[in-house]
Amino acid sequence: MKEQKTVYQAAIDRGVSRRDFLKMCTALAATLGLEFTQSDQVVKAMETKSRVPVVWLQFQDCTGCSESFIRSSQPKTESVLLDMISLEYSEVLSAAAGHQVEASMKQVLKDYKGEYVLAVEGSIPDDDAFLSVAGQSAKATFLEMAEDAKAIIAYGSCSSWGGIAAAHPNPTGAKPITNFVKGTPTILVPGCPPIAEVMTGVIAHIITFGKLPELDHLGRPKAFYRHRIHDKCNRRAYFDAGLFVESFDDEGAKQGYCLYKMGCKGPTTYNSCAEMRWNGGVSYPIQSGNPCIGCSEKDFWDNGPLFTRRAKIPGTQTTINPDAVGLATIGLATAGIAVHATGTVIKKKKDDKRGEDHE
Partner 1 sequence: MGAPKLPTQSPGPFPEDPMINSENSFHPERPIQFKKVKNEVRAYVWELPIRIFHWLNALAIMVLMVTGIYIGKPFASASIPEEAYYSNLMGWMRYVHFFAAFIFVANLLFRLYWVAVGNKFATSNPLRWIFWKELFETIKFYLFLKNKKPHFVGHNPLAQLSYWIFIGLGSWIVMLTGFYMYFEPQPESFWAKLFVWVPYVFGGDSYTLRSWHHLTAWGFMLFTLIHVYMAFRDDYLERNGSISSMVTGYKTTTNKSVGEKNND
Nearer to partner 1 (CB atom), residue 114 or residue 322: 322
Q: What is the dihedral of CA 73, 77, 82, 87, to 10 degrees?
A: 150
Instruction: Decide: 36 and 165 in contact? Cβ < 8 Å.
Output: no
Nearer to partner 1 (CB atom), residue 47 or residue 216: 216
Q: Does 337 bind partner 1 (CB under 8 A)?
A: yes
Instruction: Write each residue from 158 to 197 as x if it is in contact with partner 1 (CB under 8 A), else as -, in one continuous string.
Output: ----------------------------------------
Interface pick for partner 1 out of 59, 260, 278, 284 (rule CB under 8 A): 260
DSSP β-bridge partners for residue 118 = 55, 152
Q: Does 341 bind partner 1 (CB under 8 A)?
A: yes
Nearer to partner 1 (CB atom), residue 33 or residue 125: 33
The full DSSP string for 307-353 is TS--EE-TTSS-EE-HHHHHHHHHHHHHHHHHHHHHHHHHHHHHHHH
Instruction: Decide: 267 and 228 in contact? Cβ < 8 Å.
Output: yes
Interface pick for partner 1 out of 15, 95, 182, 240 (rule CB under 8 A): 240
Q: How far is the CB of 223 from partner 1 (least distance, A)?
A: 12
**H helices within 162-258, ranges in order?**
196-209, 222-225, 229-232, 236-241, 251-255
Q: Does 96 bind partner 1 (CB under 8 A)?
A: no
Q: Does 323 bind partner 1 (CB under 8 A)?
A: yes
Instruction: Decide: 233 and 287 in contact? Cβ < 8 Å.
Output: no
Sole window of 88-96, 123-131, 173-181, 293-301 interacting with partner 1 (rule: CB under 8 A): 293-301
Instruction: Decide: 115 and 1 in contact? Cβ < 8 Å.
Output: yes
Nearer to partner 1 (CB atom), residue 134 or residue 333: 333
Rg (CA), the chain: 27
Q: Does 335 bind partner 1 (CB under 8 A)?
A: no
Q: Does 261 bind partner 1 (CB under 8 A)?
A: yes
Nearer to partner 1 (CB atom), residue 61 or residue 297: 297
Distance (Å, rounded) from C-alpha 118 to C-alpha 149?
6
Q: Does 121 bind partner 1 (CB under 8 A)?
A: no
Q: Does 356 bind partner 1 (CB under 8 A)?
A: no
CA dihedral (316, 176, 72, 217) positive or negative: positive
Q: How far is the CB of 156 from partner 1 (least distance, A)?
A: 17
Q: How far is the CB of 106 from partner 1 (least distance, A)?
A: 38
Distance (Å, rounded) from C-alpha 350 to C-alpha 347?
5
Instruction: Decide: 297 and 218 in contact? Cβ < 8 Å.
Output: no
- 277-300: b or e for each residue (b if 16 or more CB lie within 10 Å)? bbeeeeebbbbebebbbbbbbbbb
Nearer to partner 1 (CB atom), residue 200 or residue 303: 303
Name the packing angle between helices 138-147 and 98-111 (round to 10°).
30
Q: How far is the CB of 194 from partner 1 (least distance, A)?
A: 17
Phi and psi torsions of 101, nearest 5° = -75, -35
Interface pick for partner 1 out of 288, 315, 355, 359 (rule CB under 8 A): 315
Nearer to partner 1 (CB atom), residue 49 or residue 312: 312
Q: Does 228 bind partner 1 (CB under 8 A)?
A: yes
Nearer to partner 1 (CB atom), residue 17 or residue 318: 318
Instruction: Decide: 311 and 319 in contact? Cβ < 8 Å.
Output: yes
Amino acid at 351: D
Q: Does 244 bind partner 1 (CB under 8 A)?
A: yes
Q: How far is the CB of 314 from partner 1 (least distance, A)?
A: 6
Q: Provide the binding-site residues for partner 1, judged by CB under 8 A.
A: 216-217, 226-228, 231, 237-244, 246, 251-252, 255, 260-261, 265, 267-270, 294, 297-299, 303, 309, 311-315, 322-323, 325-326, 329-330, 333-334, 337, 340-341, 343-345, 347-348
